[in-house]
Amino acid sequence: MRKLTSICVFCGSSEGNDIQIIETAKELGKALANHNIELVYGAAKIGIMGLIANATLTHKGKVTGIVPTFLKLREVVHLGLTELIITKNMHERKLLMQNRSDAFITMPGGIGTLEELFEILTWLQLGLHSKPIGLLNVNHYYDDLIVMLQKMVEKGFLSKDNLKLLIIDDQIDTLLEKLRKFKAPQKPKLLTNE
């Protein structure tokens, strides 16, 4: 079993309007603190991002925020984090988020969240890292995205094996358990001309 000491969470910079998502964000923050897992995230004090960070801190957990200078200037950065790292740009931020984390969890969010999820999943598909990636499908939020991924397989744009790289669950504890059990493929399934 993998030891998880830090998890990077990708999620909305907005709070959205689904109370179940809002409550689950707080539960995730609490669960990370209780399991002694450091939260790594985008450093905002707003939205689902802020809710998770505050819940982790309230339950005496460690939180590292990583934010590029141009976002820090917008005064929405959480200034009460255990550690705040300022990067030159988004690319440096995402590389650092990857390096500092043992696993990734995506909670509900908007296009920024999707971009982060698919970049880290692409890197795993290419064998650039071997860390588990979870999708917390709270209250069916990602059902349509999962259907789209299945369509990619059906139409021959995504291999079944690569779809399995994304670990999907709607419960925090079972998702964490699956992340711990994840075994990265020996060889990435790269493109071939066969």
**74 forms part of the interface with ligand AMP (CB under 6 A):** yes
Options 22, 76, 145, 146; binder of ligand AMP; rule CB under 6 A? 76
Whole-angstrom distance, CA of residue 126 vs CA of residue 79: 36
Q: Least distance in Å: CB of 14 to ligand AMP?
A: 5
**112 forms part of the interface with ligand AMP (CB under 6 A):** yes
Tokens 């709070």: give the residue. 15
**98 forms part of the interface with ligand AMP (CB under 6 A):** no
Task: Identify which of residues 46 and 153 has a Cβ nearer to ligand AMP in the complex.
Answer: 46
**16 forms part of the interface with ligand AMP (CB under 6 A):** no
- Partners of 10 in the beta sheet? 106
**109 forms part of the interface with ligand AMP (CB under 6 A):** yes
CA 2 to chain centre: 17
Whole-angstrom distance, CA of residue 169 vs CA of residue 9: 15
Residues 78 and 46 sit within 8 Å (Cβ to Cβ): no
Residues 32 and 39 sit within 8 Å (Cβ to Cβ): yes
Task: Identify which of residues 44 and 168 has a Cβ nearer to ligand AMP in the complex.
Answer: 44
Interface residue list for ligand AMP (CB under 6 A): 10, 12-14, 42-44, 46, 67, 71, 74, 76, 109-113, 116
